[in-house]
Structure 1
Amino acid sequence: MINDADSLKNEIIINIAEQMLTLYQHQKKIRQYSVSTAKNGIGSQQDSGCTPLGQHIIAQKIGGSEAINAVFIGRVATGEIYSNELAANHPERDWILSRILWLEGIEEGINKGSNSLGGCDTYKRYIYIHGTPDSEPMGVAYSHGCIRMRNKDIIELYEQVNEGTSVKIIAD
């Protein structure tokens, strides 16, 4: 994890009620993006399919040299480029495209480690901010727990943040 001066300048706030990601630099709003969080709502438990709340950091940036619409499985680029034909041939896939910002919770028992209900670890749940097909809706909760973005938007965001950047996910 990189925790340099630049990562401390930037902060991301994800508002689930508004389905909006806002990038701040030196506490000044720089850019807002429409996103799609979990259709199962808010939650941090393992296998819930929910988006976790609370304070996180970007633990890993993945895919910086990949093409727009590059397909990832298990955080590894497959060499495929998303298309309608590829989607028709693989209807079972939850498409992770273009870039991945892998989140790590930093609040023990809330989004890190476990609590009385079991595992609640954002990082171990593989919760990302990532690109999704342009046909997928934005501004509505529709993901399996991750924060989905338009491909051009995730590429733009990826270039403005570092590993260690603060990410706060709020309900409203």
Structure 2
Amino acid sequence: MLIHISFAEQLLTFRDTRGRVHEYPVSTAANGPGEQQGSGCTPRGRHIVRARIGDGAPLNAVFIGRRPTGEIWTPALAAEHPQRDWILTRILWLSGCEPGVNRLGRVDSMRRFIYIHGTPDTEPMGLPRSHGCVRMRNQDVLDLFDRVPAGCPVVLE
């Protein structure tokens, strides 16, 4: 079982325990790959899914600080809050596995709150546009979430 995220292809590939492959378009950081806290970059290297958040929440549920707000994303809600970086539907919180690269200190992916998460379906996929996380279509993150356990390995390159 492995999640592989390609910066070049803006593609998440998940290989399950039966060897089946599932592919999803994604959007990584507009600032490119990088590990430093405050960089707005998506970290590289080996990670694991440390936490799965949002099980049972409705499609387009809005999360702030990993907690559901009770809101459901709509274009009208987006217009009311134009500065929000929308985290929707499900969250897979990543933890780095490589000390000094993406774990501990100022490069710690978990402390940087790096997630795989849903985003408004109006946002483009296949283009680096996020603030550091890996954005997915809501139906896609729902599908992935149901397949992925905590502890699943993730490689970003």
TM-score by length of 1: 0.90
Distance of 2:20 and 2:40 partners within structure 1? 30
Match among 96, 107, 117 for residue 130 of structure 1: 117
Match among 66, 69, 82 for residue 75 of structure 1: 66
| Alignment-derived partner of residue 22 in structure 1 | 13
Distance of 1:18 and 1:29 partners within structure 2? 20
Larger Rg: 1
Distance of 1:125 and 1:80 partners within structure 2? 24
CA distances 1:40-87 after superposition (whole Å, capped 9, x unpaired): 001000000000000000000000110000000000000000000000
CA, structure 1 residues 28+134, in 2 after alignment: closer, same or farther (shift >3 Å)?
same
1:104 maps to 2:95: yes
Query: Is this contact kept in 2: 1:57–1:164, CA < 8 A?
Result: yes
1:43 maps to 2:34: yes
Match among 118, 130, 140 for residue 143 of structure 1: 130
Query: Is this contact kept in 2: 1:11–1:165, CA < 8 A?
Result: yes
CA distances 1:3-58 after superposition (whole Å, capped 9, x unpaired): xxxxxxx2100001000000012483421000000000010000000000000000
Match among 148, 152, 156 for residue 165 of structure 1: 152
| Alignment-derived partner of residue 51 in structure 2 | 60
| Alignment-derived partner of residue 6 in structure 1 | none
Structure 2, unmatched stretches of 5+, are none
1:90 maps to 2:90: no
Query: Is this contact kept in 2: 1:22–1:29, CA < 8 A?
Result: no
- Structure 1 runs of 4+ aligned residues shifted over 4 Å read none
Distance of 1:65 and 1:155 partners within structure 2? 10
Structure 1, unmatched stretches of 5+, are 1-9
Quote the sequence identity (%). Answer: 54
| Alignment-derived partner of residue 113 in structure 1 | 104
Query: Is this contact kept in 2: 1:36–1:143, CA < 8 A?
Result: yes
Partner of 1:35, secondary structure, is: strand
| Alignment-derived partner of residue 4 in structure 2 | 13
Query: RMSD between aligned alpha carbons?
Result: 0.9
Report the number of matched residues.
157
